[in-house]
Amino acid sequence: MGERWQAVDDYIADKLLGADDALAATLSNNEKQGLPPIDVSAAQGKMLFLLAQIAGANRILEVGTLGGYSTIWLARALPDDGRLVTLELEPHHARVARENLERAGVSDKVDIRIGSAADSLGAMAKGDPFDFVFIDADKQSNAHYVAEAIRLGRSGTTIVVDNVVREGGVLEADSDDERIVGTRALFDMLSADPRLDATAVQTVGAKKWDGFVLARVR
C-alpha cells in the first residue's frame, strides 16, 4: 500500500498545498547537508500550521528542529509579534535550520536553542506561557517533554507529539527499542495524568504508517 499512500499524499499536496519554494529549498538543502529525511510531510506541516492558527498561538515551543521544515510551517502560523522557540541537540542541524529559516523569511520570529532539550527546558522559567507545543525529538524522552510542556503552558495549551505509532511498534510491550519504550511511557503518562485531555490519531502517507498525539492542557 505504501506507493498508494504516497500517491494520495501527492494528490493532497497538489490540490491543497501548492508549490512552495522555501519549503522545497529546505528539503533539498537538508539532503545536500546530510540531514536525515525525517521531517513531517507537507500535509502534516499544513496541519500543524492550521492547528496553531486555530489555537490562536502567539508563543510556540518546538522540541526537535532538524532543518526547520516543521518550524517554518509553525512560524508562518504566528502573528507579526508571535515568537517560536525551537530546541535542537545537533549544532549542524541548527546551522542548516538557520539557513532555511532565513530563506523562508521567518528567522526573526524563531529562537533556536542548541543543546539537549531536557537541559534547555530545565533552564526555562515559567514566564509568558506557550500556547502551542510540538514535540518531535528523541522519543525516549517524550513523557518528560510533555510534563515540561505542561509546566511551561497554561490551561488550553495545545500539545502535539509526532511519531507515536511507528508502524504499529507501539504495541510491542516487551520491546527493547528505547523509542518504543519511550512512546509507551508517554501513553502511560497520558492515561494517568489528570492535567490533560488527549487522543492519538494514526496516519498513513509519505511517512508510511505512524501517528500523532493531540492533547490539551485542562
| 3-state class percentages of the chain: helix first, strand second, coil last, to nearest 5 | 45, 20, 35
Torsion, Cα of 74, 77, 83, 87 (10° steps) = 0
Q: What's the Cα-to-Cα distance from 92 to each of 23, 63, 79, 86, rounded to whole Å?
A: 19, 16, 29, 14
Is 213 in contact with 199 (CB distance < 8 Å)?
yes
Which range touches ligand SAH (CB under 6 A), out of 101-109, 121-129, 133-141, 207-215? 133-141
Residue 44 Cβ, how far from Mg ion at the closest point, in Å?
9
Residue 163 Cβ, how far from Mg ion at the closest point, in Å?
4
Nearest to 196 by CA among 162, 165, 163, 153: 153
**Choice between 131 and 136, CB closer to ligand SAH:** 136
Applying CB under 6 A, the site for ligand DHB has a residue count of: 4
By CB under 5 A, what part of segment 148-167 binds Mg ion?
162-163
**Tell me, what amino acid is at 72?**
I
> Would you give the binding string for ligand DHB spanning residues 163-182, x where CB under 6 A is met?
x-------------------
**Choice between 131 and 162, CB closer to Mg ion:** 162
> Would you give the binding string for ligand DHB spanning residues 28-67, x where CB under 6 A is met?
----------x-----------------------------
Nearest to 73 by CA among 102, 109, 42: 42
- Cell digits of residue 217: 492542557
Instruction: Report the Cα–Cα distance between both ends of the chain, in Å, rounded.
Output: 38
Q: Is 74 in the site for ligand SAH (CB under 6 A)?
A: no
Q: Which residues bind Mg ion (CB under 5 A)?
A: 136, 162-163
Q: Which residues bind ligand SAH (CB under 6 A)?
A: 38-40, 64-66, 69-70, 87-90, 93, 116-117, 136-138
